[in-house]
Amino acid sequence: MSRTARGLVQLGHYGLQPATSETVLDTINGETMTTRTATKPAALPSALALQQMLVAGVSGLVLFMGLLAALVVGYNIVYAGRIYPGISVANVNLSGLRPEEAQDLLAGELSYPETGRIIFKEGEHVWSASPSDLGLFLDPRTSALAAYQIGRQRNPIRRAADQFRAWYTGTDLPPLLVYDQRVAQAYLSEIAAQIDKPTVEASLSVNGTQVNVAPGQVGRSVDILAALPMLEAQLRSLTDGMISLPVVETPPAILDASQQAKIAEEILTAPLNLTVPDAVEGETSSWTFDQPTLAGMLSIERVEADQGARYQVGLDSESLRTFLNGIAGGLARSPANARFIFNDETHQLEPIQASVTGRALNVDATIQTINENIVQGEHSIPIVLDYTDPQVSDKATAEELGIREAVSIQKTYFYGSSGERIKNIQTAAAQFHGLLVAPGATFSMADALGDVSLDNGYAEALIIFGNRTIKGVGGGVCQVSTTLFRTVFFGGYPIVERYAHAYRVSYYELNAAGNVDTDMAGLDATVFAPVVDFKFTNDTPNWLLMETYVSPEARVITWKFYSTSEGRTVDWETTGLQNIEEAPDPLYQENPDLDKGDIRQVDWEADGADITVYRTVNRGGQVYFEDHFSTHYMPWQAIYEYGPGTKVPKNRDD
């Protein structure tokens, strides 16, 4: 039956540890004795008697020492090569044994490294190992040698004292054990391989319209560095025991994504319908995204938050932005003031067109609204529009706007115009009827005119393009711009931008009788948006109302300004036509589309000239400002087309 040792050496291979307690031999104390003189001194022995006593004492001491020396020598002779009596290792008595005998006895008696059991436990799982499996081994030879060295080391007195103490009280040494921690660590690593689990974050994805979700996993790992000291303490006790393995758990940032999966599934349950809150008849009022389209736009984004990471489900912002930017232009609406006419009898404004509240698509707010509502299960979501109120509503009054009377009225005539040209004059003039110009504002005719196209009601008529008069869309619009120029000119308003025609157009020099009045030369203006514009400034503190009237029968266009008069008067004068340059001879060009003998005029001659018109604007009897307008008209050639084989007239110089 094995015995259990009392102690455990430190990690690694340990050397012998000599006993630390010592047996102190009795010696004669050399302390000086203090003598006192008696009142009646005793009789002193004779010198002979003292000598005899001293000799007897010395003889006895010599005899005692001799006997003691003989005893020690005899004791060492008897136990030469053997372990002294009273010496044991881990309570295994080794008295009188030779070292090799003691080694064999210890190897048989101290079997803890082989027969001991260490149980590791984690949850419901257990693992059993012997101490030797964990790197603990007995060194019986070194332990036996350590026992043999007791009483054989240091000086003779010390050796004798160690021998006496072992014989008298006994000396028990701890066994010398070797502990290889690397073996223990390898064994724990094998257990950890069965326990450890990686940390896995929950996943969320979409395949087609199918939402896939996988749960996360809490990571688990055995803390081997924390387990090793616990194991060493158990091995040091040389007793069987159980160790609960320390396990560190590491949860993933996202353990469960099932809630976000439900949101994604809900998004894909039905089409998404985006609606316009205030759609009017004739405009697109909604857009629909079917489920496959929504699946392609679905966004699953990992978001870090104070409470930890999470998945955020919604529609991809950039995909939404691309779509919304594409429809923003069609939804945009500029604010527009109400349009009025001035009743000359009541001096009140009469609305002829309601004001328009401006609007614009707010792309960022719409993206946010869509994602906030769609995750709540909403599938019909209104887009977000920003609104801008007009400056003047339908309820504005003449008094509020400072409109009390007519301040400038001008007419121009268009005798001889084709039906197409008259149509264009009517279409263009209508764009300005009832318009208001704010105090201090600069008015752009091109902006108010808009797009001159067939789609907007314009017809093809003669226009000046390059160095030719050709047929184009909007011929006749310059009749309107010239009329506005003269209304501004004679109303005394500052003119910011004005361009004259390339050559003298007879329409703009006609008087009411239909005759050419050269004094009106230099008072024309052309507009060709967006390159060529006409602009003026309402430099008064009151609103300015414009009214336009076209009479096709009378071939006249009338432009009226209504505001509050500041007493402005206009003095003007013209240099008349100067530096007149005669028009070139007519040009004849063959046109294969014409028949023989057919001749058609496609451009008309005009003499070139220079002219300057001076204007002085007075206000309250004082000169307010002066300006002038200089125009250079090019000489213009008449052009005729004729059919093949047609005899054409000769030039004037021929």
Q: Is position 287 within any domain? A: yes
Q: What's the CATH number where 343 sits? A: 3.10.20.800
Please tell me whether residues 291 and 408 are part of one structural domain: no
Q: Tell how many helices (H) and how many strands (E) occur in the chain.
A: 15, 37
Q: What Å distances lie between residue 408 and 245, 397, 613, CA to CA?
A: 102, 20, 19
pTM: 0.61
What size, in residues, is the chain? 654
Q: Are residues 374 and 497 in the same domain?
A: no
Q: Are strands 535-537 and 495-497 parallel, antiparallel or unpaired?
A: antiparallel
Containing structural domain, residue 295: 258-388
Other C-beta atoms closer than 10 Å to the C-beta of 342 total 21
If asked whether residues 464 and 551 sit together in one domain, one would say yes
Residue 204 CA from chain centroid, whole number: 21
Is the domain of 350 the same as that of 406? no
Question: CA-CA distance, 89 to 5, in Å (whole number)?
Answer: 7
Q: Is 303 helix (H, G, I), strand (E, B) or coil?
A: strand
Q: Residue 7: its pLDDT value, please?
A: 32
One domain, residues 548 and 494? yes
Segment-wise mean pLDDT, segments of 10 residues, the chain, 654 residues: 35 33 31 40 65 78 77 85 92 92 89 92 94 92 92 88 91 90 95 95 91 94 96 91 95 91 93 92 91 93 85 93 95 94 96 95 96 93 96 96 97 90 92 97 94 78 50 73 97 97 87 91 90 95 98 96 96 95 87 87 83 96 96 87 85 52
**Cα(204)–Cα(325) distance, integer angstroms:** 30
Peptide bond into 530 cis (omega under 30): yes
Q: From 388, 423, 448, give the residue that closes a domain.
A: 388
Q: 212 with 50: CB under 8 angstroms?
A: no
Q: Which residues of 237-256 are buried (b: 16+ CB within 10 A; e: fewer)?
A: ebeeeebebebeeeebebee
Residue 312 lies inside a defined structural domain of this protein: yes
Based on the fold, state whether residues 505 and 593 are members of the same structural domain: yes
How many domains is the chain built from? 2
Structure tokens at 434: 């009832």
Number of Cβ within 10 Å of residue 493's Cβ equals 24
447, 563: one domain: yes
Domain presence at residue 80? no
Does 196 reside within a domain? no
In a domain, 253, yes or no: no
Do 596 and 625 have their domain in common? yes
Residue 577 lies in a domain: yes
Within this chain, do residues 536 and 493 fall inside the same structural domain, yes or no?
Answer: yes
Question: 307-314: long-range contacts (C-beta < 8 A, 24 or more apart)?
Answer: 308/253, 308/254, 309/253, 309/254, 310/254, 310/260, 311/202, 311/204, 311/254, 311/257, 311/260, 312/260, 313/204, 313/260, 313/263, 313/264, 313/267, 313/375, 314/370, 314/371, 314/374, 314/375
DSSP H or E segment with residue 248: strand 247-250
Residue 107 to residue 143: CA distance in whole angstroms: 10
Three-state secondary structure string covering 327-369: HHHHHCECCECCEEEECCCCCCEEEEECCECEEEECHHHHHHH
Cα 476 to chain centroid, rounded: 55
CB 221 within 8 A of CB 122: no
Asked if residue 563 belongs to a domain, the reply is: yes
Asked which of 388, 414, 435 is the last residue of a domain, the reply is 388
Final residue in a domain of this structure, among 349, 366, 388: 388
Distances in whole angstroms, Cα of residue 591 to Cα of each of 309, 643, 644, 651: 80, 5, 7, 19
Q: Based on the domain organization, do 436 and 358 belong to the same domain?
A: no
Q: DSSP H helical segments within 416-562, as ranges?
A: 419-430, 445-449, 477-491
Do 376 and 406 belong to one domain?
no
Residue 580 and residue 543 share a domain: yes
What pLDDT, on the 0 to 100 scale, is given for residue 440? 97
Residue 1 falls within a domain, yes or no? no
